[in-house]
Structure 1
């Protein structure tokens, strides 16, 4: 079996007397979609911040393709191949959709600080190809401020893909979206992950999204891993039912 693309081993982070993350381990393979779920305050966001360098771990290790990246700053982790999207999507409202992706390409190519370079002339074909991949090429010349929120989320995904990530961390990617859009976005993400061999780790409160699109699920509770496994196995786990899902195993998944 090939080595996982991303490995976290015994990660720990305290804030004062609170153990936000307490001995969390996980691994993620190329092309795999792993969901991280748990009640509010379970440690999901802190775990994400440890993986991409926004927070420094008190203990434990993070490895990317076998290389230890624990403690590296976010920009270095990003350049090594860990991309991230956030719960609240943010784009430059006055920029066109294509320009937004072109700026991401400028950053990836380390060209942001070159003088006299116009973003809207840089790697137009690549920007268009990325937008086509997320179904947004039709809006390339529209300003981001005119887009519906679900379309903004797709543009954010194109921006993340501009860095050619090995791993993509998605913090509640469907938050604020209509139910039909949620499934579409995650189906698209799953398809891209398979096609490009990108390992995806996402957090989500909508259980239909989790059980419909994750290959595996890891459940956090009070900073620790409560359960892990296939969606079916996790949904049937009595302790997960008790602390998070709040329903017997035979109940169909609903949004939490």
Structure 2
């Protein structure tokens, strides 16, 4: 059974169908890239899996559990971690404290009167920082870190929940090429070791083709292609969306001459 199974997922905003009958599977230990040009519906699809948006129709199952209708926090407790396009950490807290906060929340220990929060789960937090290469910075405030290091801390925070599924929204946004590759190589190693499924959106195609096991591509809310790097790179529909006119996915009626009712010259060049 697949770790994540998305079936017939749709979401409308008024008359606009942002996601239209999308289905895909994700296996444990696999990195699946969710791709598409601006307006393709990737963010909407991504946020429905996380519970931030509820679908108009369809099913999202994690290890057989239906996620549709659940709150984001309840989905998180089932083992769904998330990182954000803009890294979400507490700048005034230390690197270690940021990870400890996630661990305290995981164990439902947010409110404790007798034991200071700073003493909770320090060893486990430090071990997570070692996994992402940030243990040497454990006592530094997050606010003084380089952006690439903040992204590593955010990854440690996401791993604190021991996720089965990790959602990564533009994980390398704002990073230099060297940092991008280091973060994704680290992510690939960790998800393989821990058998975590990863669904991620990404605009850096070098990152996608280097690290994704599979890819799915959306265009105007519809799933138009899926497969490995070679399949996606050579798919004519994907090439059309990214490099062509997109005419395959945007039908138009021919333009007509208002006097004769016949198709005019302008109509011959209109996308079909």
Residue 47 of structure 2 is matched in structure 1 by 49
Residue 39 of structure 1 is matched in structure 2 by 37
In 1, Cα distance between equivalents of 2:175 and 2:195:
26
Deviations 1:18-63 (CA, angstroms, capped at 9, x unpaired): 1111111111101000001100111111111110111111100010
In 1, Cα distance between equivalents of 2:79 and 2:112:
23
Find the partner of 1:18 among 7, 16, 26.
16
Residue 225 of structure 1 is matched in structure 2 by 223
Structure 1 moving runs of 4+ over 6 Å: none
In 1, Cα distance between equivalents of 2:134 and 2:85:
20
Check the 8 A contact 1:20/1:42 in 2, yes or no.
yes
SS of aligned partner of 2:34: strand
- Deviation of 1:245 after TM superposition, in Å, equals 4.8
- Deviation of 1:17 after TM superposition, in Å, equals 1.2
In 2, Cα distance between equivalents of 1:172 and 1:118:
35
Given the alignment of the two structures, is residue 198 of structure 1 paired with residue 196 of structure 2, yes or no? yes
Matches within 5 A, 1:1-256: 3-245=1-243
Deviations 1:54-112 (CA, angstroms, capped at 9, x unpaired): 11111000101012121100000000011111100021111000000000000000001
In 2, Cα distance between equivalents of 1:104 and 1:141:
16
- Deviation of 1:242 after TM superposition, in Å, equals 1.2
In 2, Cα distance between equivalents of 1:118 and 1:146:
25
SS of aligned partner of 1:219: strand
Using structure 1 for the length normalisation, give the TM-score.
Answer: 0.93
Deviations 1:99-131 (CA, angstroms, capped at 9, x unpaired): 000000000000012234433211111001100
Deviations 1:225-251 (CA, angstroms, capped at 9, x unpaired): 0100001110110110111155xxxxx
Using structure 2 for the length normalisation, give the TM-score.
Answer: 0.88
- How many pairs does the alignment contain? 244
SS of aligned partner of 1:125: helix
Structure 1, unaligned stretches of length 5 or more? 247-256
Deviations 1:152-190 (CA, angstroms, capped at 9, x unpaired): 000000000000000000000000111110011011101
Structure 2, unaligned stretches of length 5 or more? 245-272
SS of aligned partner of 1:170: strand
> In angstroms, what is the RMSD of aligned CA positions?
0.9
